[in-house]
Amino acid sequence: MYVRYQLEDIQELIHKCLINDRGGQEKLYRKFYPALYLLCKKFFKDENDALEALNDGMLKVFKNIGQYNENKGAFFNWVYTIVRNAACDKLKRDNTHTFTSSDITDFVIAGSDNPLSDLEWKDIYQLLQVLPLGTRAVCVLYYLEGFSINEICGQLQLSAGTVKWHLSETRMKMKPVLLKYHSKK
C-alpha cells in the first residue's frame, strides 16, 4: 500500500510539473533533494558548487519532463542521470579542475578491486575530501557510479590515459587513509 501511494504521488507530481505547476515542482525538488544533493557532493567539495549542479540538473528535469518515458526505467533513475550529467557538465564548464596528465598515456591500473566497496557512505564522503576535484570526479564515476573508462572518457572529454592517471591518483591518495582507518580486522 505504501509503495503504491508513493508511485501515485510521483505520478501526480510529474503531471503537475508537466503543466508547469510551481508547487508541484517544489514538492518534486524537495522529495529528491537529499539523494541528489549527496550525489552532487560526491563531485564537489564546495557546497555551493554541489547545490548549483543540483539546481542546474533539476531545471533540466523540469524543462524536459515531457521526454520521460516510464517504459525505459524508473523516474528517479531518469532524474538522477540528468543531475549527474549536470554535475559533469559543471566540472567541464567551470574548468576549475585539472584534467591533464603530463605525458601519461599508457598508465596501467594495478588491480581492479574497488577500494570503496566495503566502506560506509559517511566514510566514502570523508575519503572523497582528500581528492582534488578532477580526480574526485573520475573516482565517483568509476568506483561509485560504475562507469567504464571509455564511458568516463566520453562523459568528461578525457583521454583514457588521463582517466587511468586519475584512478591511480585516487588509490595513491586514499591508500594511507584506508590503511590507517579501515584496515581489515
pLDDT tens figures, 51-107: 999 999 999 999 999 999 988 888 999 999 999 999 988 988 876 444 443 333 333
Q: 3-state DSSP call for residue 139?
A: helix
Specify the CATH class of 97-185 in words. mainly alpha
Residues 61/83, Cβ–Cβ less than 8 Å: yes
Task: Work out the average pLDDT over 103-128.
Answer: 55
- The per-residue pLDDT for 106 is 32
User: How do residues 8-44 score in pLDDT, each as one tens digit?
Assistant: 588 999 999 999 999 999 999 999 999 999 889 888 8
Angle in degrees, 0-180, between the axes of helices 47-64 and 22-43, rounded to the nearest 10: 140
Q: Which fold has domain 2-79?
A: Rna Polymerase Sigma Factor; Chain: A (1.10.1740)
DSSP 74: -
Domain boundaries, the chain: 2-79, 97-185
Secondary structure tally for the chain: helices H, strands E: 8, 0
Cα 50 → chain centroid: 10
- Tell me what percent of the chain is helix, strand and coil, each rounded to the nearest 5: 70, 0, 30
The pLDDT of residue 116 is 63
Q: How far apart are CA 160 and CA 166, in angstroms?
A: 10
- How far from 146 is each of 12, 44, 96, 138, 140, CA to CA, in Å? 31, 18, 24, 11, 8
Residue 1 and residue 122: Cα distance in Å, rounded?
32
Q: Report how far residue 98's alpha carbon sits from residue 166's, in angstroms, rounded to the nearest whole number.
A: 10
